[in-house]
Structure 1
Amino acid sequence: MQEIERKFLVNSNAFKSEASQSKRISQGFLNSHKERTVRVRVIDDKGFLTIKGKSSESGLSRFEWETEIPFEEAKTLLKICEPGQIEKTRYYINADQHVFEVDEFYGDNQGLVVAEIELSEENEAFEKPDWLGKEVTGEVKYYNSMLSSHPYLSW
């Protein structure tokens, strides 16, 4: 259950025309400690509970465990999360054998658009679309857990 991903800023809205689907996401954190985060997420009409471990030194990988939970329970858990809920639309863009997940944030994170790609290994090659900007992998301020307490509009 090792997650390996790279994260990038997005430099244009061109990704939207390439998206195969999009989903609205609300999420909060029951725990946002740097050693581990516990996230509650509602995606459309489904709920999820996710635990993530501390990132590797490079920021490329970390432990991740996720399970689906009943929608109503997820909505209830969101009410007891730490302050600073995240609201975003996630766009899914197929690129060869990979999928870019592009998050367009709202609320206190309005204006921030970030793309992530999950990889099988840290040095795996992939094609970078033109709309992909600066790499921010390992930059803690772009972690959702950090955006909930230190939102983009306050930078």
Structure 2
Amino acid sequence: MIEIERKYLVKSSNYKEEAYNNYSIKQGFLNSDPERTVRVRLVDNKGILTVKGLSSDDGLTRYEWEKEIKKEEAMSLLGLCEKGIIDKIRYEIKAGEHIIEVDEFFGENDGLTIAEIELNSIDEKFEKPLWLGKEVTGDIKYYNSQLSKQPYKEWKL
């Protein structure tokens, strides 16, 4: 399946008031090569294995495949992952017919908050909340696979 996604920085915590759901995510990478990223997630008590292909030049589209796995399998696989486990809370907010997912990072990425929205087409419009900041779609440093290697706390801001 091809994923079409836009990514934004978040400029205030007002999204928390609009969220209808939130859950914790622990995430690691078995392979963080941009051509074939393989990640393992523990989402509350559920495991998910994901394979992503190379992003398009503009960062808007990429192949994605996911499969639910047992919590115990995910925990074991997290132990095999490359250095740099991602720890975050994801908030889900309705925006018209879409859902915006806002990730508030902790640990080595504490202080970073990113919003993502999946679209049906590259040029599809959506309702942008006031707390949505600068678009960072296609900026590799904001990819979770990169945040695991070069966390936000190490950036020279």
TM normalised by structure 2 equals 0.98
Q: CA RMSD in A?
A: 0.3
Unaligned runs of 5+ in 1: none
Q: Report the Cα offset of residue 127 of structure 1.
A: 1.1
Which residue of structure 2 aligns with residue 100 of structure 1? 100
Q: Given the alignment of the two structures, is residue 75 of structure 1 paired with residue 80 of structure 2, yes or no?
A: no
Which residue of structure 2 aligns with residue 49 of structure 1? 49
The one-letter amino acid of 1:31's match is: N
CA distance in 2, matches of 1:25, 1:118: 19
Q: Report the Cα offset of residue 87 of structure 1.
A: 0.1
The one-letter amino acid of 1:144's match is: N
Which residue of structure 2 aligns with residue 149 of structure 1? 149
CA distance in 2, matches of 1:34, 1:26: 20
Paired residue total: 155
Which residue of structure 2 aligns with residue 58 of structure 1? 58
CA distance in 2, matches of 1:39, 1:105: 17
Q: Report the Cα offset of residue 36 of structure 1.
A: 1.1
Q: Aligned residues: percent identity?
A: 61
Unaligned runs of 5+ in 2: none
